[in-house]
Amino acid sequence: MTGSAAPSLFGRPVTISGLGAHLPGKVLTNHDLATFLDTSDEWITQRTGIKERRVAEEGLSASDLGIIAARQALADAGLSPEQVDLVITATISPDRLMPATAARIAYQCGCVNAGSLDVSAGCTGFVYALAMAAGAVASGLHQYVLVVGAEAISRLLDWQDRATAVLFGDGAGAAVISPLEGASERAGAKTGVGILGFDLGSDGSGEEFLLIPAGGSRLPASAETVAARQHYMKMNGHEVYKFATRVIVQSALRVLEHCGKTVDDLDLFVPHQANLRIIEAAAKKLGVPENKIYTNLQRYGNTSCASIPLCLSEARAEGKLRAGDLVLLMGFGAGLTWGACLLEWTDGKAAGAGGTSTHTAGSTAGGNTHEERN
């Protein structure tokens, strides 16, 4: 412990006051993949830790999954949809290039008084959106912001490419960001509560390592781009691996230092669920013990912008995320981008909310800390 007070990063203290999660019911196991790809359960398990993933039923898009998670998060926060000021959707698999997926989510959830926009920051999108939401609430610009990480990545995968098809899964998670209840009494608290700080970064020189080459204004969709399968995700796995293990450590240390904390102060580390080897290598370098790392990629694969809120939702349902816990969220992905968020978890509905907090965890099963926490 450093013993020093966390710096005041924002105007007023803010927190995550509601969570939601949704996973499609259709399960695709490694064995299923091996029936049509030159791969095996052994290879995928050893290289990634993934055993199975979910795939959205035909006809469903990212917003369809996100709407369910978003409604849960609102109920969990005890908010009515009319109270929401802004809906931010983080996604790499938007319903369409235009308009934003968030507009449909806001509409379908009944957020009739809210603005809406999408954040595109690869798999770091949820942490970026959380930073935008936290800043807006802390400044007083907004009272309640709904952040939705929603992905139907299965639609953007080349199912003939074993290097990418085995890694990803569909799903959605959501969080309500609001002023911290009782903030005035807590504002002078020694350790700080709620969302404490962020470290965001990007390096566009790594653009080609993880991308969908065609379909935008740089390379518009054409019969040629489709024939060349350039409308699907491409990845240089080695480069992404090296990048991820490097930035996780750097960004985590930066946000901890900025907030006057150390790795020893952490109760829970919730990294983006890309690959177990990346997570374990970074955690080892950081010195985070295994029993403080939360993972569920074994069952869902890489759900991109949905992975962190899905983990938070499950961890709380399992009693592994408790009020007062110091939690480090860590995202990384296409761009290349990365983002860390440090927060002290608070329990309870949003300040000024009208409804009832239900604390539902969504349609999710249990996740893993590598060993059970005491």
Residues that bind ligand ACO (CB under 6 A): 39, 43-44, 47-48, 122-123, 162-163, 166-167, 210, 235, 237-238, 240-241, 244, 274-275, 278, 302, 304, 333-334
Amino acid occupying residue 148: V
Which residue's Cβ has the minimum distance to ligand ACO?
333
Write a three-state SS string for 318-370. CCCCCCCCEEEEEEEECCCEEEEEEEECCCCCCCCCCCCCCCCCCCCCCCEEC
Closer to ligand ACO by Cβ: residue 43 or 107: 43
Specify whether 123 is catalytic: yes
Specify whether 311 is catalytic: no
Closer to ligand ACO by Cβ: residue 194 or 333: 333
Specify whether 236 is catalytic: no
Sequence-distant (6+) residues with CB within 8 A of 225 are: 213, 214, 215, 219, 231
Closer to ligand ACO by Cβ: residue 122 or 339: 122
Element (DSSP H or E) covering residue 224: helix 223-227
Coil, strand or helix: which one is 198?
strand
* Nearest distance, CB of residue 274 and ligand ACO, angstroms: 3
Q: Which of the residues 302, 305, 311, 341 is marked catalytic?
A: 302
Closer to ligand ACO by Cβ: residue 8 or 160: 160
Which residue in 202, 200, 173, 215 sits closest to 54, CA to CA?
173
* Nearest distance, CB of residue 195 and ligand ACO, angstroms: 23
The first and second tokens of residue 265, run together, are: 């102060």
Q: Which of the residues 111, 272, 275, 368 is marked catalytic?
A: 272
Which residue in 135, 136, 148 sits closest to 94, CA to CA?
148
How many DSSP H helices and E strands does the chain contain? Answer: 12, 15
Where in the sequence numbering do the catalytic residues fall?
123, 272, 302
